Structure formats: structure tokens, C-alpha cells
Amino acid sequence: MAGEGATAKPDAALRLPAAPVHAVCIDLDGTLLDTVPDLAAAANAMLVEIGRPILPQEQVARFVGKGSDVLIRRCLDATGGGADHASLLADARTRWYAHYQRLNGRHARLFPGVAEGVADLRDQRLALACITNKPGLFVPPLLERFGLGAAFAFWIAGDTLSVRKPDPGQLLEACRRFGVAPRSVVAIGDSANDAAAARAAGMPVYLVPYGYNEGAPVGSVDCDGIVDSLAVFARALRRSG
């Protein structure tokens, strides 16, 4: 859950990419924003409507990271099963989408260092993209609500392509749109999911320790470094330039 994870390395000790960095791909849930309060509220509203018990927010946090369909399936499995029944899953999905559209951003918050880090990266003339497994319907209003919409050249959501993280497809599509090779694009996320996608894409990847990672710490995840915040990463990158 948010706030748990490995202790970050000092930014001065970061192993920064050897190739010049031209762009940065940043994850959304658990990296830019703590969205679990809204995700859990929508999940519990859905569960109540179908006659299921509600779940603690901390448990729902462990279900986040692989997209809304996986979140819904895990909520059903945790409250009596039935995720393999197409009609129940479709009904639960429709209800969750309706509730989350109403709640999206209401109780979410920016993680510390996000606003400063994004501003610093842009000041360094780096192109930014938001790459998320969240359905595209929810991405623009969430970014706009927290003043991040104009910071990103584009976003790629969980339903933009036929694949999503940990598949590298979203990140490779971002590199195509940026017009640069993967080795010159850095990925920043909060999970093994993000790291696996970046590794498969041939991109350097850094993780923040405060996100979700399905409830597990990120200390043992294969990545190029763990940073306390986006601001820490941006400062380190500026000093290396």
C-alpha cells in the first residue's frame, strides 16, 4: 500500500542512464497520485450493490496495478468469488465504472515531490508522457484536476492499445511518438509491473518506494534505482547533465 516499500537511495548515488535522456514516461496510480481512496470507494460501492461485504482500503490497494478489470476480479474473488462468471463480472464492471467516474479524483492526492519533479523535468526541456493501466476514460479528468494535464505531451492508457504493462507495448509506442530510441527514454513507476515493462522495452527504469506494487516492497525489483520522489530524480538528472 502507499507509504510502504524500500528505503530510497540518496539521489547522489543514483546510477543514471549512460545515454542522453530526451523523454520520461511516468506511471499514474501509485507514482503521480495516491488514487486508492477513490478506487476503494468505487469498489465498495459496487460490492454493496451486488450484496457483497465491503473491503478495507488497505486490501483494495493490493489489488491495484494491472488495470480495472483485474481490480474488479480480485474484489469479487475476495468477497465470495464469481469472477469467472461473465454476467456477474460484466455487471460488477458496469457498476464500478459508474461509481469511479463519479468519484475519480475526489479523495486522491499528489504524492510529495510530484509537482516539483514534473516542473523540474519540463524545465530541463524533457518531453513527458503518462503511461498507465488505468482506463482512458479516467485519465484526462484526473490529470487536469491536479494541474498535470499540460505537463504531458500525451498519455497512453490501459485501453489505448491491445496490450498494457507489464507488456512493453505502451512504452514502445511512447518512444515511437517521441521519435527517440528506448535507451534515451526513462520510465518511472512504483511496481514490478512498471519495471518489467521498461526492461522488456529496453528502457532505464526507476521506482518510487511509496506506491502500491500489489502490497510488496520494491527493494528487490530489478530496476536502475529507487528514488524518494520525482523531485529527487529530477535533481539528480539535472546534476548529471
d(CA 140, CA 28): 11
Cβ contacts of 124 within 8 Å, gap of 6 or more? 234, 237, 238, 241
C-alpha cell, 142? 484526473
Q: In what order do the strands lie in the sheet with 154-156?
A: 154-156, 127-131, 23-26, 185-189, 205-207, 225-226
Catalytic, out of 11, 27, 29, 190: 27
Residue located via cell numbers 530496476: 223
29 is catalytic: no
Question: Among residues 30, 62, 24, 15, which one has the least CA distance to residue 226?
Answer: 15
E strands along 16-126, which residues? 23-26, 33-34, 109-110
Q: Which amino acid would we find at residue 138?
A: F
E strands along 21-64, which residues? 23-26, 33-34
Cβ contacts of 23 within 8 Å, gap of 6 or more? 126, 127, 128, 129, 174, 175, 178, 180, 184, 185, 186
C-alpha cell, 193? 509491473
The residues carrying an active-site annotation are 27
